[in-house]
Homo-oligomer: A and B are copies of this chain.
Amino acid sequence: MTPRRRALIEFILDNLVWLMLIVVLIVFSLTVPRFFQFGIFANIFEQSTFVGVMAIGLAIVIISGNLDLSVESTAALSAMVTGLLFATQGIGMGITLGADWLLIPVSLAIALLVGTAIGLINGFLVIRVGMSAFIVTLASFIWVRGLVVAISGGRSAQSLPPAIRVIGIETVLGIPLLAWISVGCFVVFSVLMARTPFGRYVILVGGNPNATFRAGINNDRILWAGFAIAGCLAGLAGWLLAIRTSGATANLGTGMLFNAFAAVVIGGVSLKGGIGRLPGVYAGVLLLYSIHTAINLMGLPAHFTQMILGGLVLAAVLLDTLKLRLRERLL
């Protein structure tokens, strides 16, 4: 095998998930009626925003060797806080600030703070107290959702002021602003992970924390940062979700966790830690929401959609798994 041929195969295998995405989009366009239209693609983009933003943080925590099962509930909490404070109907308190333009930065800051706070609580229990990340964040998944129910009394807040809603309504180049936000996040965090010492340390700590500890790297700082970023981005996802919903409900975001994990795994991140790159995760998110959208359009019997979705996601993960075998076979 020539080195050039090998390099080509390497490249394709490294970006297999993008290839899958393209193939899937073509297949759906050809087989699902009305799938092939600009609006549908814009929808896929937009719908993948929330899980996309969440999946970035999740991927970073996972690469660092931990796990965060609470991102979904964290997003719900930050959405509920946003709705509670700024929505004008339902349980919304409809807080107004001096100037309308202040609404976006202030509400965003609050949402990010809420998310980061949950991330730091998780971090504290895992890093300082030494509990297993799985159980800590599973408990957070429960109690943070419980907190959402508690602060909302199970009710919903509606009608965010237009000054905030603009984020959910505007489009740029025909693509919703929401989608651009997730693209922006992916670009920033991809650079952070691939080109800076921080990103390098996340990978190394995820691979062998004992080695990095001995090498004088402050493991704890990296792990703290991972949880904080996961929480913060979950907070961002929640803020965006509240804007899109124009308020918040007690069960907002339920089920996103599965999608976030599926995207992360489809995108090639190893749940064992130490392995993964963010651009693949974005492809994973897009792939997932293409499937969701196609299922919506196909009009399958409703009782079977959940099974079919589970099966298709498994198939997508499977392809990623086969990558390893292919590499062994081909190279």
Which residues of A come within 8 Å of B, CB atoms?
125, 129-132, 134-136, 138-147, 149-150, 153-154, 258, 261-262, 265, 270-272, 303-311, 313-314, 317-318, 321, 324-325
State in angstroms the CA–CA spacing of A310 and B125 once bound together. 14
Does the CB pair A324–B271 fall under 8 Å? Answer: no
Check B310–A131 contact: CB distance below 8 A: no
Supply 4 further A-B pairs (C-beta < 8 A) apart from A131-B321, A136-B314. A132-B272, A138-B258, A141-B258, A146-B309
Q: Which residues of B contact A271 (CB under 8 A)?
A: 132, 134-135
Say whether, besides A271-B132, A318-B131, A321-B129, A139 and B313 are in contact (CB < 8 Å).
yes
Whether A311 lies near B261 (C-beta < 8 A) is no
Partner pick for A318 among B129, B258, B303, CB 8 A cutoff? B129
| CB-CB under 8 A for A310 and B262, given A271-B134, A321-B130, A324-B130 | no
| Complex copy number for this chain | 2
Question: Across the interface, do A261 and B138 meet the contact criterion of CB distance under 8 Å?
Answer: yes
Cβ distance A272 to chain B, nearest Cβ, rounded Å: 8
Q: Which of chain B's residues has its CB closest to A143's CB?
A: B310
Whether A135 and B265, one on each chain, are in contact in the complex, defined by CB atoms closer than 8 angstroms, is yes
- Contact call A142/B265, Cβ cutoff below 8 A: no
CB distance from A248 to the nearest CB of B (A): 16
A130–B327 CA distance with the chains assembled, in angstroms = 14
B306 & A143 in contact (Cβ 8 Å cutoff): yes
- Least Cβ–Cβ distance between A65 and chain B, in angstroms: 11
Bound together, the chains give a CA A127 to CA B218 distance in angstroms of 36
Cβ-closest chain B residue relative to A325: B130
Chain B min CB distance to A11 (Å): 23
